[in-house]
Structure 1
């Protein structure tokens, strides 16, 4: 398949983020696979940050590359870590002549790679920081060509934008669900107040206080008590009944 067609196929696949089984780790793995196929590199790895901004997930096109990414995270240093924090691309054309990141450099050279290039996963011109980094490994020393840098930046840009969109959508859906739950809870409580006020012949405010005191005394959630009142559950019989309705015990007459 010609390079142009492979590049188009990569962008189409990276744009598909609306699948119900979408997972950020698996998606970033797709990015690494396309980068390794389209660019003049031998392998690609990735590191992805969680919602709090801490790098906590890694992967690669081979098991060896994935382990190299693990080395960076455990050591807390490496080109991916540096690029992630700086938000800038980082290139090491020959690891043999670079003394940084001792543990990582030793592991990379031992794995047969001589050069590493990193592209931060961030939106160009945006105010938000990076959400990860893409590492490109070469067995021969050397810089990436200008065309490869352009294609790599485009792949990372599309992937980053899609991941950020997916995260924003997930946050919005979570907030919407929380607001709906809060609204449903409020409606249930208001219904329970009305029922309780009518049964006890009291005000809505007093009905709410009775319900809250009952929930606290019985160590139950207020909304659970309200649901029980609305559904007429026997678990709140003592709350709903007025004093006149409460059953008399064998000691009631003697105590009255």
Structure 2
């Protein structure tokens, strides 16, 4: 049974997702928060999220760490792994001990173990009959997730899926695809901005992302808009880097 502290955290996570169902909300921020919440609330070390484009090609859209993002990319490049199977099947896939699945996903298993992950659980992101992508949960300990944790992960993924297509009265495959394409385009901008900020500030990509998120939140600007401003140099990298110090907050 969940503790009262965890209950509060779970409620806060769902409230945060629900609050995004308003005009102008930032999808990338929503999905990034989803992976962070999963890593914090569930018995996993990190989480990553894949979304499909109009051609049903999966892309990494959010991850709670750069190591997880790299592993998700590796999974896509090798075209094998639990998250891909979850997307293809449209149902959860669990690998409590990756060493036992080497025959199924040989390259992915080696890559995951090399990154320190020994278990993976994936749940689909869906909207009606359309599978939008998958939410991958990566563990550093062998073992199955509790049924309530899997249910919570699926619930968070379902609400996030609704957020992606929020504002559409009767979303069809075409309108869903258009929304996903914009999300993927914004993610490309964000990756470019992370690289700019990391290079200018001589910092890690994880830290660069957190600086971008904090600047966007504090200034009530969409992450994609901050990223675009950095890339076009209408916003200086130094301004974002110095923001934490001048605002008196920490990452």
TM-score, normalization: structure 1? 0.60
The structure-2 alpha-carbon separation of the partners of 1:5 and 1:95, relative to structure 1 and needing over 3 Å to count, comes to: same
| Structure-to-structure mapping, 1:91-106, within 5 angstroms | 91-99=94-102, 100-106=104-110
Q: 2:42 aligns with which of 25, 30, 39?
A: 39
1:90 paired to 2:79: no
The 1:67/1:149 distance shift into structure 2, 3 A limit, reads same
Structure 2 equivalent of residue 78 of structure 1 = 81
- Superposition pairs for residues 1-256 of structure 1, below 5 Å? 2-15=5-18, 16-20=20-24, 22-23=26-27, 25-99=28-102, 100-123=104-127, 126=128, 128-165=129-166, 168=171, 171=175
Q: Aligned partners of 2:33, 2:55: CA distance in 1, in Å?
A: 23
Displacement after TM superposition at 1:21 (Å): 5.2
Tell me, in whole angstroms, the C-alpha distance in 2 between the residues paired with 1:129 and 1:71.
25
TM-score, normalised relative to structure 2:
0.62
Deviation larger for 160-169 or 71-80: 160-169
- Secondary structure of 2:44 counterpart: coil
1 or 2 for the larger relative contact order (CA 8 Å, sep ≥6)? 2
CA contact (8 A) 1:58 1:70 kept: no
The runs of 5 or more residues in structure 2 that have no matched partner are: 179-251
Distance 1:132 1:17 in 2: 20
Residue 246 of structure 1: aligned partner: none
* Residues 60 and 69 in structure 2, CA contact (< 8 A), matched pair in contact too: no
What is the CA-CA distance between 1:20 and the residue it aligns to? 2.1
C-alpha separation in 2, matches of 1:166 and 1:93:
38
RMSD: 2.3
Contact between 2:48 and 2:60, CA under 8 Å: does it hold in 1?
no
Task: Report which stretch shifted further, 109-118 or 10-19.
Answer: 10-19
1:19 is displaced (CA, Å) by 4.7
- 1:85 CA displacement: 1.1
Query: Do the aligned partners of residues 145 and 68 (structure 1) sit closer, same or farther apart at CA in structure 2, a change above 3 Å counting?
Result: same
Q: Using the alignment, how far apart are the partners of 1:161 and 1:137 within structure 2? A: 24
Secondary structure of 2:160's aligned partner: helix
Q: What SS is found at the alignment partner of 1:130?
A: strand
Q: How far, CA to CA, are the matches of 1:129 and 1:21 in structure 2?
A: 22
